[in-house]
């Protein structure tokens, strides 16, 4: 990634534009230009997404095509309103893994949300067959 330097006086601020930062900045800029009254809402509602080591291991179990579907679904569904119940997102019954479940085709993403720090933490990624969860091909009870 190429760093972008802001400011001409010393000291300068160097900010590395990751793809997510660049997309977010573009969305905020576009919203400010077209809909100024919504700009504050757009900039305040974005959540960061963190993956636990276990979730990353779960993700590696899937083929590359499946990984792309899962990661794109996580980004699309959880970036802005992870606490809103929808057809694909629902709170889970009490368990030791996560508070919420996201459905992406046959895959399930279990996650928790830190509302005050705006972080979605992906706990596990697997498949659901009937009422059973399978992580890395093994049935797991929640």
Return the pLDDT at 26.
Answer: 66
Q: How far is CA 42 from the centre of its chain?
A: 16
Would you place residue 106 in the very low, low, confident or very high pLDDT band (cuts 50, 70, 90)? very high
Alpha-carbon 133 to chain mean position:
20
pLDDT one-digit tens code per residue, 4-31: 444 444 443 334 444 555 666 666 666 6
Task: Identify which has the larger pLDDT, 30 or 99.
Answer: 99
Q: What are phi and psi of 132, to 5 degrees?
A: -105, 140
Listed in order, the ranges of the chain carrying CATH 3.30.2310.20 are: 47-142
Percent of the chain predicted with pLDDT > 70? 68
Which 8-state DSSP code applies to residue 62?
S
* pLDDT number for residue 19: 55
The dotted CATH code for 47-142 is 3.30.2310.20
* Residue 90: its H or E element: strand 89-91
pLDDT of 60 over the 80 cut: yes
Contact 107, 70 (CB under 8 A): yes
Q: Which helix (H) or strand (E) holds 102?
A: strand 100-104
**Residue 42 pLDDT exceeds 60:** no
Tokens of 126: 């697997």
Range 65-69 average pLDDT:
94
Q: Which residues on neighbouring strands pair with residue 70, listed in sequence order?
A: none
- Average confidence score pLDDT of the chain: 80
* pLDDT confidence tier of residue 134, bands split at 50, 70 and 90: very high
| Dist CA 25 CA 21 (whole Å) | 6
Which pTM value belongs to this model? Answer: 0.68
Length of the chain equals 142
């Amino acid at each position: 990634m190429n760093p972008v330097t802001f400011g001409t006086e010393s000291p300068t601020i160097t900010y590395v534009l990751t793809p997510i930062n660049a997309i977010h900045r573009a969305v905020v800029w576009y919203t400010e230009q077209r809909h100024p009254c919504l700009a504050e809402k757009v900039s305040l509602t974005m959540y960061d997404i963190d993956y636990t080591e276990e979730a990353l291991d779960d993700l590696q179990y899937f083929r590359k095509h499946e990984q792309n579907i899962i990661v794109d679904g996580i980004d699309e569904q959880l970036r802005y309103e992870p606490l809103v119940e929808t057809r694909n997102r629902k709170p889970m019954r009490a368990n030791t893994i996560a508070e919420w479940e996201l459905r992406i085709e046959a895959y399930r993403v279990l996650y928790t949300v830190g509302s005050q720090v705006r972080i979605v933490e992906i706990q596990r990624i697997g498949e659901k067959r009937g009422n059973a969860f399978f992580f890395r091909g093994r049935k797991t009870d929640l």
